[in-house]
């Protein structure tokens, strides 16, 4: 199964260099790598030109701001007559040696699935066991760089919602992967969803990496708004919404390795805003990440 990797970037070339290094001896000529540079396009193109080869074909393009918009644009740039298996790395993602070969082999047997994303602290989420059902409860275990989905299926369910997720032109700054999988379920295409074994991973960095305390809390609030919006949009039960809202207060306690105890307040506030459908008080810049 040939692969289509689509990455949206604000032009952070140092992260992209690590990504390209990890792919340089894993991509095949039939694979495709699309980089959607929403800033610093000349620098990204210059970096890509260093790595391009017969086996590493890199398309560089741009799009309006927003990670989901960039991913949709990148998929649209892929050859329309080839049903590639898609994956959506961040510009801070990297692939362990042999990961693409395993993805390529396993992907022949399913139309959508998920793999484990790890950072310096371990797995970001622990996935359900292979063979478990994809349900409206298990979709929360998947983030964008962990998605595997065939191009035809991605197009059939409408791709990512460009109005939500990191950098979107709305306050709802997270949840595009969850929303995509909920659309998969709504379309009745969840049968055979392939949870990959925990030994198949892609690497990344922790969400607060490189951010100041103020930037970290701003990001948590923006992400909370997006997820709070989702539980309302998809009509989760009231008891579950209340538990989800209250659980935000304990975010800092559950993630003491990367976050401060009081960070939970900002997660709670963001989730509340998402559920209400509006921001409360001065929110400042609404996009979760600006650099």
Percent of the chain with pLDDT over 70: 99
Q: What is the pTM of this model?
A: 0.95
Asked whether the predicted pLDDT for residue 287 surpasses 90, the reply is no
Q: Is 220 helix (H, G, I), strand (E, B) or coil?
A: helix
Tokens at 83, concatenated: 């049903």
Between CA 202 and CA 93 the distance in angstroms is: 7
Give whole-number Cα distances, 161 to 15, 128, 166, 182, 263, in Å. 25, 25, 11, 12, 28
Q: What pLDDT shows up at residue 291?
A: 64
Asked whether the predicted pLDDT for residue 138 surpasses 90, the reply is yes
Q: How many CB atoms lie within 10 A of CB 285?
A: 9
Q: What is the pLDDT of residues 78-132, one digit of tens each?
A: 988 899 999 999 999 999 999 999 999 988 889 999 999 999 999 999 999 999 9
Q: What pLDDT shows up at residue 284?
A: 67
Q: What is the pLDDT of residues 206-254, one digit of tens each?
A: 988 888 999 999 999 999 999 999 999 999 999 999 999 999 999 988 8
Asked whether the predicted pLDDT for residue 285 surpasses 80, the reply is no
Percent of the chain with pLDDT over 90: 86
Tokens at 130, concatenated: 């292979």
- Of 9-13, 151-155, 185-189, 260-264, the poorest mean pLDDT is in 260-264
Q: What is the pLDDT of residues 10-65, one digit of tens each?
A: 999 999 999 999 999 999 999 999 999 999 999 999 999 999 998 899 999 999 99
Q: What is the pLDDT of residues 173-196, one digit of tens each?
A: 999 999 999 999 999 999 999 999
């Amino acid at each position: 199964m040939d692969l289509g990797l689509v990455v949206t970037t604000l032009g952070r070339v140092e992260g992209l260099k690590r990504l390209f290094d990890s792919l340089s001896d894993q991509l095949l000529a039939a694979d495709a790598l699309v980089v959607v540079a929403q800033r610093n396009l000349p620098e990204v193109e210059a970096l890509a030109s260093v790595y391009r080869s017969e086996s590493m074909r890199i398309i560089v393009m741009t799009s309006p701001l927003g990670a989901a918009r960039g991913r949709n644009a990148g998929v649209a740039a892929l050859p329309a007559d080839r049903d590639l298996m898609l994956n959506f790395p961040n510009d801070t993602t990297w692939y362990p040696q042999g990961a693409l070969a395993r993805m390529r082999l396993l992907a022949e047997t399913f139309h959508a699935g998920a793999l484990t994303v790890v950072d310096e602290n371990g797995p970001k989420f622990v996935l359900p066991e292979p063979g478990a059902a994809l349900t409206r409860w298990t979709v929360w275990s998947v983030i964008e760089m962990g998605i595997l989905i065939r191009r035809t299926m991605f197009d059939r369910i409408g791709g990512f919602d460009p109005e939500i997720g990191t950098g979107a032109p709305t306050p709802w700054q997270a949840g595009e992967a969850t929303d995509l999988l909920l659309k998969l379920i709504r379309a009745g295409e969840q049968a055979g969803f392939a949870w990959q074994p925990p030994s198949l991973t892609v690497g990344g960095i922790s969400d607060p990496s490189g951010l100041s305390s103020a930037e970290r809390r701003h990001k948590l609030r923006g992400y909370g708004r997006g997820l709070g919006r989702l539980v309302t949009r998809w009509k989760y039960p009231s008891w579950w919404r209340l538990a989800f809202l209250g659980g935000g207060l304990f975010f800092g306690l559950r993630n003491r390795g990367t976050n401060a105890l009081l960070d939970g307040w900002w997660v709670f506030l963001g989730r509340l805003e998402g559920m209400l459908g509006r921001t409360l008080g001065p929110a400042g810049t609404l996009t979760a990440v600006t650099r």
